[in-house]
A and B are shown apart, each in its own frame.
Chain A
Amino acid sequence: MIGLVLVSHSAALADGVRALIKQMTQERVPIAVAGGVDDPDNPIGTDVIKVAEAISAVYSPDGVIVLMDLGSAVLSAETALELVDTEWLPHIHLSAAPFVEGALSAAVQASVGSPLEQVLAAARGGLAAKQQHLTPSAAPTAIPMPASVPALHLTVPVPNRLGLHARPAARLVSLVGQYAAEVTLRKGEREASARQINAVALLDVRQGDELEFTAQGTDARAVLDAIQQLAKDNFGDRDVEAPHPVITVQAKRPVAVLAGVSAAPGLAVGQIYLLDDTRPDLPTGRSADPAGEQVRLTDALSSARVELDVLSRRSEAGAIFQAQSLMLRDEDLLRAAQDQIKQQQCSAEYAWWHAIEALAARYRDTGNAVLRWRSADIFDVGRRVLRQLAPETAAAIHVPAGSILAAPDLSPSEAAQLNRDEVRGIVTQHGGATSHMAIIARGLALPAVVGLGTAYSMLTSGQTVIVDGDKGWILPHPTAEQIAAACRTIEQQRLEQRRQRAVGQQLAITPDGRRIEVAANIGSAADAVSVAEAGADGVGVFRTELLFMSHTLPPSEAEQVQAYTTAAENVHGGSVIIRTLDVGGDKPIAYLKLPREDNPFLGYRGIRCWLERPELAETQLRAICRVSAQHPLKVMFPMVGTLEEVQTARELVRAVQTQLTREAIPFDPQMEVGIMIEVPSAALLADVLADHVDFFSLGTNDLTQYLMAADRGNAHVNALVSPFQPALLRTIQQVVRAAHARGKWVGVCGEMAGDPRLTRVLLGLGVDELSMNAPAIPAVKTIIRETDYTAAQAVAAHVLTLPTAAQVEAYLDGQSA
C-alpha cells in the first residue's frame, strides 16, 4: 500500500490533517506525521529526524508520498532523504501539492488501490475542485467554444536576462497546457503556438522583446492573466545564472573549476570530445512497411516520455528532463519524422534522427548562445528515442584517442563499450555517483566526473581539460604548468600501479609451497580488464545481475555468450566462475515481474527464483556451456539451501548439455559446477552437498548476516555482522574439512577475502581460493608469499580457540602489526 507522510511546522496541523484523512478513508492508508519540534516553549518548526522516521514507518516499495507545508518543511523533507536507505529513494516522492487538499486527494486515491502515478496526479490536482467552485474559468476543463468567440490580446515585454530559453519556455508551455484556449505568441513577423515547446524556443525571444499573445476560447481571459503573472514573475527565472555551485571562485569571475560529482577516481588530461552531435550508425534501409514504422516511432516516443517523466520526478535536474519531455510532445517534430517515413519509405530510426538533426540545426543557427546549448538537449532526447527503437545502434561509441568523453548522460551499455585506448576520462551533465555508469567507469579505471549541470554547456570539442575524478571537478582552461603537474601526478600513479601490478602478477605461493588462487569479483565483462591488470589469477565471481539489469528484456543467448567470452578473454586464460542470476524482490528487473516482498532478504531470490524460470535458466546455462568449449569457465549457483536444489540445478545443466550435444554445439562436459555457501543450512550440509558439486564458494557477506540474524544495513545490529565472529570462522573450518575430505575445493568470495588482516587465518583454515575486489589483490598476494602455510595453520588453530569476535580481532591486529 502507498504510504503518506505529512510534514508540518505544526504538530496540531499535521495531526488534524491525519484525523481528517482517517475519517474519509476508514484508516486504509498508512499515514505518518512529522509535525513541530520537541521543545515545549517553541513547538513550531520542523525536525529532519522525525521526517526520516515517519518515512521509515510507512515505507514499502509501493511508494511513499511526502506532503509538506512550506519553507523549512520542504528543506527538512529533502534532507531526510539523505538519512534513509538509498535503495528506497526511487520509491519516495516529495509532492509539491497543497498540504491539506493534496493529502486528502492522495489518500482517497491511494485507498482505492490506484497506482502511484495516479495518486501523485491526484495530489497535484488537489486544488482543482476548489478552484472550479470559486473561479470556474480557471479550471482546466475543456469546453468547446463557439467560433464566434472573439480573440483576446496581451502584449508583454520579456524581463528575464536570458529571454525565453528552454526552462522559461517550458514553464509557459506547461502553463498554457492547463487551459483550453488556443494561444499563439508573436514576435515581430513570426508567430508560434504557445503549446509547442520547440516553436516557442525557436522564436529566439530575448530580454526586452515585446511579445504579443493572442488567446481564443472560453478561458482566454484566464490564460492571458496567468501569462501576465508569469511574465511579471520573470518567467520563473532567477537572474543570477551561476550555473552550478562553484566553490572555489566568486560569482561572475572567469570560472576556474567546473564542479560536479566524483564518480570514478583518478586524474586525466585530454581533449574534450562532445558526444552530443555524433551521428549514430543508423540503418538507412528502406522499409516496406511505412505504417508499421510510424507505429514503432509513436511507441518509442511514448516510452521515452515515460522515462523522462520518471527522471524529472527523481532527479535534481528535473526541470531539464521536463523540458525534454515537452520536446517529445512537440507535434511539429513528430510530424516531420512521420512525413518522411511515409514519403521516403524509410526506417523509423532514420527519419527520427533526420528530424532531430534538422531541429538541432535550427537551434544552432539562431545565433543565441543559450539556444545553441539547447541543441545538446535535442540530441539527448533524440538518442533516448533511438535507444528505444534500436538499442544496439545508439550504443556504439568511437572517439579519437586521448579524448575526454563528454555527454549529457551515458547509459550503462554505452559506458561498458568504451575503449580505454580511446577514452581517458568521462564527464557528464547528468547522473550521480551511484549510477551504473559510475560503477562501470570505476571498473574500467576511467576517471569520471558526473552531474556537471549547466556548467556542462561551457565545454567545447577539442578543448584541453584536466579531469579530477577524486575531487569531482574539471579544470576547463588549465595552464601549461597545471597540465605538466597533472601529467607528473598521472605518471607517478602509473608507476605506483605498475609496482603494485608487478607484485600482483606473481603467483600467490607460500614459502613452504602451498598455492592459493587469488581471483577477483567482477560485475561486467569490462571489469575483467582492470582485474587482470591488478594481478587476478582469474575471476572468482562474475555477478551477472548487471548484465540482466541494463536491458529492458533478458539478454539473449548470443549477448550472454559475448559477455562471458569477453570476460574470459580479458583475464588471459584464467578461469572464470559465472554465478547464475541472483535476484529477488529487492532488485528492480522489471521484465521478471517479481512479487514485492516484505522481507526479500529471506524471500524468493537466487536459485529459488531462477530455477522456476526455465526459459531464463536454460538460456543462461546454454550460454555458459557454449563458452566453456573455448574457455575455462565454471558455473556456480547462489542461495542454495537444500540438496534438492543442487540436484535440480545439476539436472538442468545435464539437460542443457544433452540438448547441445543433439544440436552438435561444442561444450566442455568436464566444466566444474559449484554452489555458493551463504545459507547456514548449506554450510551444515556441506558433507552431503560436497558429493554433488565440484566446489564451494563461501559468500561470507550474506553467510555472516544469516548466521548472526543481523542485517548490515541496520545500524542497531550491524556491529554483529563482523568477519571476526567465531561462529563464522568455525563454519568456514567445517565447510573446508567436509569439502577436502571429498576431494573438493573451497573458495571465499565475500569482503573478508580481500581483508589483509584475515588472509593468514583463511590460508590456515585451508581455503583454496580467495576472490576479492581487484585493488586488494597485491596486498593479499604479498601476505601469502610471505607466510608459511604451517605458520598460518597455527594462527588459525589459535583463533579457533578464541570465544569472541573482539578477541579474534584484537589477536589478528596484534599479528599483523
Chain B
Amino acid sequence: MITAQHIRAWLERSAQTFAAQKGYLSDLDSPIGDADHGTNMARGFAKVVEKLPPAANNADSSTLLKGASMTLMATVGGASGPLYGTFFLRASAAVAGKSELDGADLHALLTAGIEGVVQRGRAEPGDKTMIDALLPAAQALKTSLDQGADLVAALDACVHAAEAGMQATIPLQARKGRASYLGERSIGHQDPGATSVYFLLAALCDAVKG
C-alpha cells in the first residue's frame, strides 16, 4: 500500500533527482529546445518540497499532490509547468479521500494525470513528448497488476517501460512544442520531457521501496 508518507517521499526524491540531473536534462534540451528543462524542473520541485505542509499536519496524498500541482504551475515557468501541474492536479482528484493507495488506485492516479497531460498538450503517441514515456508506463503497471504482481514489482515494470519509452523517443520527429520547429532535425535526440517522466516515476518507485 502507498501512504501519504510515500507520496511525500516521492516528491522529496523527485526534488533530489531533478537537482542532481538538472545539467543532464538541460543538455538534452539544448539541441532541440530552450536548454531550460533541467533548470525549470529543479526549481519547480525545490519549491514543491519547500512548500510541503509539515508532517505533523497529516495531510493526505490528495492534498500533497494538489499542493505540488499548484506550486509547479506557479514556479516551473516553461510548458512543463502547466503540463506537470495538470498531471498532479488530476492525479490529486483521482485519489481524493483515500488514505492508502493500492495498485489499482495508483493506476487510476497515473491514468487521470495522463489524461490531463493529453488534454492540455494535445499530444499524441509518437509526437516525441512526455506522453511517449507515460503511456507505456501506465500500461505496464496495469499489465503487471493484472498478472498478479505485487505493487513493488508492478512499479519496477512501470519504470522499465517508462525508460524504454524514453529511449524510443530518440528516432522520433517532434511534432509538439518548441522541438517541432526543428522538423527532421529533432530526430536523433532523446526527448527531455519523456526523460523527466522517467526520473519522476523512478523516484516514485524508490520512494515506495523505502
Contact = CB atoms under 8 A, between A and B. Distances in A.
A238 B174 CA distance: 12
Nearest to B86: A79
Interface string B51-84: 0000000000000000000100111111111110
A797 interface: no
Interface stretch (A34-42, A382-390, A652-660): A34-42
B170 interface: no
Chain B contact patch, size range? 35 or more
Interface in A26-60: 37-39, 42, 44-50
B102 interface: no
B185 interface: no
A292 interface: no
A46 B120 contact: no
A238 B115 CA distance: 20
A248 interface: yes
A128 to B, nearest CB: 26
A245 B119 contact: yes
A47 to B, nearest CB: 5
Main secondary structure of the interface of B (DSSP, over half): helix
B124 A248 contact: no
Contact of A251 (B76, B119, B125): B125
Contacts of B40: 42, 45
Q: Which of B40, B81, B127 has the most CB of A within 10 A?
A: B81
A45 B77 contact: yes
A72 interface: yes
B127 A250 contact: no
B126 interface: yes
Contact of A47 (B75, B136, B178): B75
A545 interface: no
Interface string B6-47: 000000000000000000000000000000100110010000
Contact of B75 (A38, A82, A245): A38
A76 B75 contact: no
B81 A48 contact: yes
B139 interface: yes
Nearest to A78: B120
Q: Which of B76, B111, B178 has the most CB of A within 10 A?
A: B76
Contacts of B76: 37, 45
A76 B82 contact: yes
A76 B135 contact: no
Contacts of B135: 247, 250
Contacts of A39: 43, 75, 77
A723 B125 CA distance: 48
Interface string A302-328: 000000000000001000000000000
B139 A248 contact: yes
A502 interface: no
B202 to A, nearest CB: 21
A749 B39 CA distance: 54
A242 interface: yes
A249 B143 CA distance: 11
Nearest to B121: A75
A602 interface: no
B77 A44 contact: yes
Nearest to B90: A82
B177 interface: yes
A78 B122 CA distance: 12
B163 to A, nearest CB: 16
Contact of A75 (B79, B124, B125): B79
Contacts, number: 100
B160 interface: no
Interface in B80-123: 80-83, 85-86, 89, 111, 114-115, 118-121
A47 B79 contact: no
Interface string B124-139: 1111000000011011
A468 to B, nearest CB: 13
Given A39-B43, A250-B125, A71 B177 contact: yes
Q: Which of A47, A48, A242, A251 has the most CB of B within 10 A?
A: A48
Q: Which of B43, B70, B79, B119 has the most CB of A within 10 A?
A: B79
Interface string A73-90: 001101100100000000
Contacts of B127: 240
A211 B85 CA distance: 45
A49 B74 contact: yes
Interface string B161-178: 000000000000001011
Given A79-B85, A240-B127, A247-B115, A46 B77 contact: yes
A605 B139 CA distance: 51
Given A72-B78, A247-B138, A48 B125 contact: no
A80 to B, nearest CB: 8
A71 B139 contact: no
B124 A251 contact: yes
Contacts of A42: 36, 39-40, 43, 77
Given A245-B118, A251-B125, A75 B82 contact: yes
A78 B82 CA distance: 8
Interface string A330-370: 00000000000000000000000000000000000000000
B142 interface: yes
Nearest to B138: A247
A71 B79 contact: yes
A259 B177 CA distance: 25
B119 A76 contact: no
Contacts of A48: 73-74, 81-82, 85
B75 A37 contact: yes
Contact of B136 (A37, A45, A245, A250): A250
Contact of A45 (B78, B139, B175, B177): B78
Given A47-B75, A250-B139, A251-B125, A238 B82 contact: no
Nearest to B176: A238
Contacts of A45: 40, 76-78, 81
A684 B32 CA distance: 69
Contacts of A316: 119
Contacts of A238: 124, 175
11 contacts: A37-B76, A37-B77, A38-B74, A39-B77, A45-B40, A48-B82, A72-B78, A79-B86, A238-B124, A245-B124, A247-B111
Given A47-B74, A72-B82, A247-B135, 10 more contacts: A37-B77, A44-B77, A45-B78, A48-B81, A76-B82, A238-B175, A242-B124, A245-B119, A247-B118, A250-B136
Q: 3 closest Cβ contacts across the A-B interface?
A: A45-B77, A48-B73, A245-B118
Interface of B: 36, 39-40, 43, 70, 73-83, 85-86, 89, 111, 114-115, 118-121, 124-127, 135-136, 138-139, 142, 175, 177-178
